[in-house]
Structure 1
């Protein structure tokens, strides 16, 4: 029998089952009740591609946060005859990466996207058993109920959302002969990363306290994170915070900032003001003393009485530091967006004709073309300019939370609901403008409720019998083809025709004729890391290269590139070829592979290798340091891939840096 194929079915005698752990033994018993037979070939039921795509859409937030962590984990275990698997809460495999040769072996037992590995399908296995037990689980070799799976050893960890509900499983599976005991530890750390990412994205507009009894653990996976409203009401806490506070999430929901940390919000503000750049010392309700850093989001604060951020005391929202010579950027107006491109000018002319006339506007265009900037400018030029502008990204809010985010809820409307309820985005925008970004990603069932609000102008918060009148202007945006989604029954036709009063399309950056003007404005207004006295400019040959680039990431890509280049310029402030990242030249070569060589574009390196290497490594090291070791955040800031960061700084791939990848 070949070693690269599953073991032949062998009967399991009573003597052999004696070494099973109690949880595995119970799982075997459950497998029997499901009617599974150890000796028969499993019936692999893999979802068709279209159905799998729908399930991926339903779990898009989980996938978005888990995929980068999976890539990092894979770098730690590469060439170990293993793979990494992400499933949803039902055990359906959503995504997998691993060594190519082992992925081929895993295909034989349908260990791939679209297959379901719940216990009632596959018997005892780490994924299904971890879901049932809601606990980290290792199933090694012969412990699998089905003989076909006994060439595997699997380590699975449940993933919980910020409210403590199971949303998926992260699994590391490999050849049973090469199992390492540290695999489970790596899987558990990776899940902590995913959960912390989900926590931060869910509680964007909150007061967050990161704490630990030892200050050196702040900023690592060991730190506890608790989220509160600005008036001190408890929202949630990550697993480490629950452990340090000595209570599960259900018990913590009865507490407040004052009952957990011994001080009110105003007292915390005073403590921050007098901390002089040091970590804040807080007293837990148990009597323990912890070091803490505080992150606050101004969007949730009614008054401007929070202290300014200082190193070691607060964690300001992750926005670039403003240039010393610049004050806060003036609110965008339509006039400021009209920079000479005929297509953009036509869009602005159309928009001006409908402003203030209660006509919904739908903005289409590729990701990164400035749709939210246009929406903000429309609001600022409208009669509602003095009222709220509320933006909601339908693609970034977990599907289980988007309904409560939009409509709000009454106290006790669902498990984990805040005391006294919460005001939804629709009511927050009352009198002003609601901007629904990525409207194509709104869950289908929720589209019905939104349509009703637009028709009746009444909002029913979750758990409430009251209908509240609302007066809002609606602006939506999407990069998707909504008409095609209607054909696929993924977007409601009636909602589409309710939203498309005026449809305008922003051109991608590669099609605009005002690139030089746009770059000049960005250099003047963007918060860039340069000295106050430095005036930035672009060399002529570099501008020629910019004109040839296709800019697949549009303004986001351009902005990241300019920030990278600005960090490397000399005193004269001129951006030259040696200040541009390698990826930019790689993209140019791909675009011009069948075309003549661009003027000034070298065959391989834009500058002497040693010079460029030093500059690039310096810029990358600075970005990684600014983001506390978060490689993904550093890569996004620089506009380069994570692989480029690791290639330029190979030391980041060491396991101990995994702790800081949060």
Structure 2
């Protein structure tokens, strides 16, 4: 086997790649083989997704958030089952064609037995997060990829799938695996909370500020005190495998009698208590047991995490859910943060209060369409009934029908024995929000049209029509009139759903940026020592951003920056994610200004050069000079090695080459 130079991804872990290559050879694969371009047929893939419905449902919103964090990096997010078959993908349009050339698409197996050494297959074999970069792939055809993958375990520790980010090798970033690992852990925590929704749950950590975060330990107990399971963080804190914990009584695990723990939980729900782990470490804990709070209906609980909106809405819901508090409510009044365009939209929809006139909300992805729909629902006479959301773009065409209309027992192979109540019936008496209605297949458009006309729904495989009383709010980022002309959207349905049409402004068009930042930061968990404001320099940088992900992107940026600035009074430029800075526009030249390293790091590297101390507030022209000087210094120190300089600075190599051409130093 030809020896390849170590890549940035393989430093410190050559044995993993070597062992994977040995397995590939032993299986009988040839490195020159052409990848299989024949994915599973749609009916087979549909059944596979149905068998993995819980994983699929809880992974979708996390995949969307992860994709928003890596958007425009020529990469894609992939979900697989436990055997490495891709169930779903989200990707940049400019990378999908390249991915298809190596069969990186739904319905294709990326198990080691089929693809040799690759992040998905190797991570599933080893049971550990794995990076496979470029030439580390066994098949030559796959060496255009850099892949970071983490296995996903069910609440009982069994591997049920994997989450992967794959992209162009030139876009490799050492932090991608950390993002994937955190996202996989988030999916696991969602699965855990759903599995033990009716059990006694203990949230704990040695540091109080980590309660309610991704890193808290979760342990579940039956009402009689039997230990049921624990999440990944809890197992780490206990320092014992799950099988050993299941043989121990609760007083051995937390140093307290079960009756006393239950008494404290029910007497003062949500209050912190101090417990002792078997190692003697004292932890802060909060317990919950059937506390009355808003949750989705039982049939809908598995997908409740997907039903809460983007941007501030998603951040607010996640924080509240983690703390076991009621979901924060939006009203038309609270959405008015000072932007004239937004205020006009709110005035228009307010006139529909109490009237079941259909509403069509237009706007780019992430502008807060679902948040507006929730506010309309809350300010209506239907506020006491369910608000049910379905993202038509988040499900395969074959599953939208079952999700929306429901199905009877036996309608699908492997489906739930008692069938499933669809979203339309779940929303009876309340509001049905259909996001990305433009992505609904024509066949389902016909069925939806019939429901809106007759106000009854017949589940798949059923014969009885179920009457429903609901308000329908639809949203899309597509031009539905153009779709009607192209024959991909029904004109009769269009006129059924657009009683009133409003358009939400993109974030870069809004004048209430400072108010939105304040509002989003105010929604962060109270138990965490996170800043509630940003510096003037950060706000200025925000004003230069293109914000392609709109409110969703802003919420993600602020959440990450808040964690980086934990304990500080405000968020500074140093705390902003590096990849966010590529969306900041040089208003003078119309080009992207990407600050590759923090100001503090530059000052340390240059011995505290006072000329660099005010870089955050310099003009765009001076900023470009500063960036050029930093690139020149880095290249000189690294002997002109462009790849090494780009990695250290966090820049694309093309950016460094562009600088060399501009200065005449290219060779």
TM-score normalised by L of structure 1:
0.49
